[in-house]
Amino acid sequence: MTMTELRCTCCAAEYAIGDVYTCPACGDDGILDAIYDYEAVGRSLTRDALAVRRQDIWRYRELLPIGDGAVLPSLSVGWTPITEAPRLARELGVRALFLKDDGRNPSGSLKDRASAIAVVQACEQGQEIVACASTGNAASSLAGMAAAMGLRSVIFVPRDTPEPKLTQLLVFGATVLRVDGSYFDAYQMCQKFCAEAGWYNRNSGINPWLIEGKKTAGLEIAEQMGERVPDWVVVSVGDGCTVAGIWKGLKEMHALGWIDRLPRMLGVQARGASSVVRAFQDGKPPVAEAVSTVADSIQVGYPKNWRKALTAIAESEGSMIAVDDEEILEAIAYTGRLTGVFAEPAASAGTAGLARAVREGIVRPEESALVMVTGNGLKDTASARRVIGKPIEAARDGAGLEEVFRREGLMG
């Protein structure tokens, strides 16, 4: 393993690997960051080496917090496609636009990257039960990865979790607790029982390893795009772990010489859950608050990783922006219509944020962008149905369809 220590993002204190989850001096706010021996990584993570490795997150194992002999899940996670979207680029007003579709992961979201790390670590530690609190995607990804590794999972979700995500959890055999409250309530309950029962805790608010899984999206962007690395990488933001992780991956690949420049990061939040955007604007730490948005996967009332998120924005000379639920829903429709990619609300928030950033002059028309599609639209079809058309009712004998087709411009 090339990881050397853990460093607190608050006070910069350093700790030996395995000693702590959060900084004892800073408490729960003391989120830790994994530090690697990049000189050693560079000696083995070469282009020749990667050319023959498996195409998933484990191709970057020198940059991951797992042992050399770790048992890996059978499910293939990562190496999701990057697709150029010229019609959507013209619609939004940028020179070039790319979508990285993490809805192709096994459970349908980017969170599989973090959960894969979690279950491998749990097995290395001899744990048999893994747990997390989630608004949906982290939960279903952990349940699926646990099933693949023969582990039991205990999942705490808020009462408004979409039914498709609940269904995923139950299909994967998870013990599901639907908490009569918010995500914060579910998180607090999960923390309590993880401490009492000794379960492996997958919550990104305290687990320093999960960002290492999420950063693989940034590692992939650098390797897949190479000299075409975009001017902007757009990421929806809830807790803040994902945007911070992707930035870390991009920085690491830049340091290792895979890309010769770094993109700017655009973090996007739903206006009804936008405490990180406000912290970006006024410099004040977020406080716990009631939140509400159609984008359940980023509906976080107290983001634990806000400091890492804002560091990513500052280091990249990027920006943050908030969008209304109506913009998020509209983005589901036009993204699907113009690209063939079906994004759930939290994922379409990225596209909506890019559209608003162009209108406000943050992103210029001559620039290029890549939007992370963090989750598949099949996870929340009810939201999509609010902004799309209805099927045309057809009689069994097809009577009157010629007129319908002419009206739709399908027949002369």
Q: Would 262 be classed as within a structural domain?
A: yes
Q: Would 138 be classed as within a structural domain?
A: no
Residue 68 predicted with pLDDT over 90: no
Is the whole model's pTM more than 0.85, yes or no? yes
> What's the confidence (pLDDT) of residue 19?
62
Neighbours of 165 (CB within 10 A): 27
CATH number at residue 303: 3.40.50.1100
pLDDT tens across 226-275, in order? 999 999 999 999 999 999 999 999 999 999 999 999 999 999 999 999 99
Q: Which residues form the domain of 88? A: 82-108+209-385
Shortest CA distance to 354 belongs to which of 346, 342, 345, 362? Answer: 362
8 A C-beta contact, residue 375 and residue 345: no
Residue 303: C-alpha distances to residues 14, 286, 291, 300, 379 (Å): 23, 7, 11, 6, 23
Read out DSSP for 277-338?
A: HHHHHH-PPP-------S-GGG--SS-TTHHHHHHHHHHTT-EEEEE-HHHHHHHHHHHHHH
Our CA angle for 129, 138, 215, nearest 5°, is: 105
pLDDT tens across 342-394, in order? 999 999 999 999 999 999 999 999 999 999 999 999 988 888 889 888 888 88
Q: Would 149 be classed as within a structural domain?
A: no
Q: Would 163 be classed as within a structural domain?
A: no
> What's the confidence (pLDDT) of residue 336?
96
> What's the confidence (pLDDT) of residue 266?
98
Q: Would 327 be classed as within a structural domain?
A: yes
Neighbours of 315 (CB within 10 A): 15
pLDDT tens across 392-402, in order? 888 888 888 88
Q: Would 103 be classed as within a structural domain?
A: yes
Q: Would 195 be classed as within a structural domain?
A: no
Q: Would 142 be classed as within a structural domain?
A: no
Looking at the structure of the chain, the number of domains it has is 1
pLDDT tens across 123-133, in order? 999 999 999 99
